[in-house]
Chains A and B, each alone.
Chain A
Amino acid sequence: GENVEQHPSTLSVQEGDSAVIKCTYSDSASNYFPWYKQELGKGPQLIIDIRSNVGEKKDQRIAVTLNKTAKHFSLHITETQPEDSAVYFCAAPLTDKLIFGTGTRLQVFP
């Protein structure tokens, strides 16, 4: 089955710096990789996703890169702002389900 590992568990950055969160997966057949942002007391929000036929996708300050050979994908946030502070989860599919990583608590200090 699919196993998703996520690092780091916590990440603190200064406002304006970049943040990178990395996930590895085990099922080489996986072809869809989303990233979610969860604020305290709320449900996760899809912020970006990538399919296995591309290596990188960008949306303003957020980007996701995928290395299928190494079976890892990363979330990149540039020019971080205090409102980026949240818990971020990666996920990978297992048949008809999504398996989530353990989460990264990102803190952006002003």
Chain B
Amino acid sequence: GAVVSQHPSWVICKSGTSVKIECRSLDFQATTMFWYRQFPKQSLMLMATSNEGSKATYEQGVEKDKFLINHASLTLSTLTVTSAHPEDSSFYICSASPGGRNEKLFFGSGTQLSVL
């Protein structure tokens, strides 16, 4: 299957700082990438759809200024959690599909963010 690489796998930061998470498609080009958030023992909640060369599409209730998404190339999307607070602590996962749609999505390994 296709490979999606995500870094870092975990990060601890102080409240008020910003954290950047990278998502790369290693063996295919991804015009679209999806960012999910997952709380312990819960399902995956879609945060936003990242579109190469254009603005991301955010789901209802997700703050655009809080979660900045940049999809500058066909293989890289980044999620920046700005001015992080303890309630932002969560498992963040990106995904992409070689077909460029929502079918056969391949996920990164996730990033565990802990905000102190």
A binds B: yes
Q: Give me the interface of A with B, judged by CB distance under 8 Å.
A: 32, 34, 36, 41-46, 49, 89, 93, 96-103, 105
Given contacts A89-B43, A103-B43, contact A46 B105 (CB under 8 A): yes
What is the bound-complex CA distance between A89 and B107, given in angstroms?
13
Q: Which residues of B contact A (CB under 8 A)?
A: 1, 4, 6, 32, 34, 41-44, 46, 49, 93, 95, 101-110, 112
In contact, B107 and A101 (Cβ under 8 angstroms): no
Across the interface, do A89 and B44 meet the contact criterion of CB distance under 8 Å?
yes
**Cβ contacts A to B, 24 pairs, < 8 Å:** A34-B104, A41-B112, A42-B110, A43-B109, A43-B110, A44-B93, A44-B107, A45-B107, A46-B1, A89-B43, A89-B44, A96-B32, A96-B49, A96-B101, A96-B102, A97-B46, A97-B102, A98-B46, A98-B102, A99-B46, A102-B42, A102-B43, A103-B42, A103-B43
A46 to chain B, nearest CB (A): 6
Q: Which DSSP category, helix, strand, loop or mixed, fits chain B's interface?
A: loop
Chain B residues whose C-beta falls within 8 Å of the C-beta of A105 in the assembled complex:
41
User: Which of B4, B6, B105 has the most A CB atoms < 10 Å from its CB?
Assistant: B105
Find chain A residues with CB under 8 A from B95 CB: 43
Across the interface, name the chain A residue whose C-beta is closest to B9: A41
Number of A-B contacts (CB under 8 A): 54
Closest CB of chain B to A29's CB: distance in Å?
13
CA distance A96 to B51 in the complex (A): 12
Query: Which one of A43, A101, A102 contacts B108 once the chains associate, using CB atoms below 8 Å?
Result: A43
List the A side residues contacting B93 at CB < 8 Å: 43-44
Nearest A-chain residue to B110, judged by Cβ: A43
B2 (CB) vs chain A CBs: closest residue: A46
